[in-house]
């Protein structure tokens, strides 16, 4: 029986700017997204019945239709009913390495892997843009997770533009196991506090989005200027998450006091990341911060930028 093992990398946000409200209730964003090597593994094979089966080794991850990976399989069954009838259902096993509800797109990456896996299992021959169109129906970050690397995302986060890829930057991730942030809460709170700064006019949003290409961070990325990249990290959601979670704010300050290129909260948090020139430096900084904040709930990972999204494990 044919089966596939896929690697689904996490992502961090090097830049997240909220421009305004969208008619669909989401926010109009400008983001720069980066894949990292910390990844989950997804094993997918046909099931004996027409059903979708989902297993996960992490107790906090639901295995029913509330899981994005399950919904990705359901979407493929709905869009390709004849293939579903021919090939039957699928059995999906998720091996989690990416922390959950962490702002690292772990769930989105799992869903992206399921779309890629079913495309292979059912020999659908869908192209990457076609898979990304399906991915956008499930969640804003999922189209990026398919292609990965370094990309600019606009609209809801689903419109992707290639930018120069970044390599050889090391990343320390830090997350309190007992703190998780719900993404809808972060955006709603931002709307409550900052909607007076929102750009209301769609044309103004479009011209602001178009100008991003000349923005300093994109230029720093084009020139692979690591020092500048570190200084220009930005995330609007920090404005609501850090005041509500003082431990996360303190963690970011601890990284900022170290010899790092830059530090920022990823997505809606609560993971904080710091960028370093080398693995040796990343390990040294992690050890320093661990000594300063002696909380057994605080977990660290040292990883590096990755140049692609979903990969087939051979
Ligand atoms: O698309 P995704 O499922 O990742 O979004 C999770 C939540 O984050 C949405 O329900 C919405 O509350 C918020 N969000 C938003 N604007 C975006 C992306 C997400 O308001 N562009």
Q: What are the domain boundaries of the chain?
A: 4-164+308-312, 170-304
Chain segment 132-155, per-residue pLDDT in tens: 999 999 999 999 999 999 999 999
Q: Which of 17, 183, 195 to mutate to test the pocket of ligand 1 (most atoms within 8 A of CB)?
A: 183
Q: What is this structure's pTM?
A: 0.96
Measure Cα distances from 99 to 9, 29, 216, 270 in Å.
12, 24, 31, 10
**Ligand 1 pocket residue status of 29, Cβ below 6 Å:** yes
- Give the pLDDT score at 198: 93
Burial class (CB in 10 A: 0-12, 13-18, 19+), 85: exposed
Q: Which atom of ligand 1 is nearest to the CA of 191?
A: 20
How far, in Å, is the centroid of ligand 1 from the Cα of 244? 19
Measure Cα distances from 138 to 103, 135, 205 in Å.
17, 5, 24
**Ligand 1 pocket residue status of 153, Cβ below 6 Å:** no
Measure Cα distances from 239 to 134, 188, 192, 219 in Å.
32, 12, 12, 25
Question: Has 24 been annotated as catalytic?
Answer: no
- Give the pLDDT score at 214: 65
Which CATH architecture best describes the domain 170-304? 2-Layer Sandwich (3.30)
**Ligand 1 pocket residue status of 26, Cβ below 6 Å:** yes
Question: Has 11 been annotated as catalytic?
Answer: yes
Under-50 pLDDT residues of the chain = none
Name, in order, each residue with C-beta under 8 angstroms of 247's C-beta and a sequence gap of 6 or more.
Answer: 176, 179, 295
Give the integer Cα–Cα distance in Å for 155 and 308.
22
Give the integer Cα–Cα distance in Å for 261 and 230.
4
Measure Cα distances from 79 to 76, 115, 131, 137, 231 in Å.
5, 12, 12, 12, 44
Pairing of the two strands 27-46 and 4-21: antiparallel
Topology of domain 4-164+308-312, per CATH? Ribosomal Protein S5; domain 2 (3.30.230)
């Amino acid at each position: 029986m044919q089966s596939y093992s896929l690697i689904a990398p996490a992502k961090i946000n090097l830049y997240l700017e909220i421009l305004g409200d969208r008619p669909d209730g989401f926010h109009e964003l400008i983001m720069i997204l980066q894949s990292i090597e910390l990844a989950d593994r997804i094993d997918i094979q046909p099931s004996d019945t027409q059903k979708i089966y989902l297993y996960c080794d992490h107790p906090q991850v639901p295995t029913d239709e509330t899981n994005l990976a399950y919904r990705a399989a359901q979407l493929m069954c709905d869009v390709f009913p004849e293939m579903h009838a021919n090939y039957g259902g699928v059995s999906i096993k998720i091996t989690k390495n990416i922390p959950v509800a962490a702002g690292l797109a772990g769930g989105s990456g799992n869903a992206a892997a399921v779309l890629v896996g079913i495309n292979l299992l059912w020999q659908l021959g869908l192209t990457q843009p076609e898979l990304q169109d399906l991915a956008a129906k499930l969640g804003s970050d999922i189209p990026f997770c398919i292609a990965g690397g370094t990309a600019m995302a606009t609209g809801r986060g689903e419109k992707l533009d290639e930018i120069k890829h970044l390599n050889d930057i090391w990343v320390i991730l830090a997350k309190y196991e007992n703190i998780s942030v719900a993404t809808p809460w972060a955006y709603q709170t931002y709307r409550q506090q900052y909607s007076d700064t929102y750009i209301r006019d769609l044309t103004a949003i479009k011209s602001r989005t178009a100008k991003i290409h000349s923005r300093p961070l994109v230029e720093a990325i084009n020139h692979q200027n690591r020092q500048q990249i570190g200084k220009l990290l930005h995330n609007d959601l920090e404005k609501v998450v850090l005041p509500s979670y003082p431990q996360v704010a303190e963690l970011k300050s601890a990284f900022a006091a170290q010899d790092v290129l830059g530090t920022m909260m990823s997505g809606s948090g609560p993971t904080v990341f710091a960028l370093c020139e080398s693995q040796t430096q990343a390990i040294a900084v992690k050890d320093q911060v661990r000594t300063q904040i002696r909380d057994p709930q605080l977990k660290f990972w040292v990883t590096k930028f990755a140049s692609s999204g979903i990969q087939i494990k051979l």
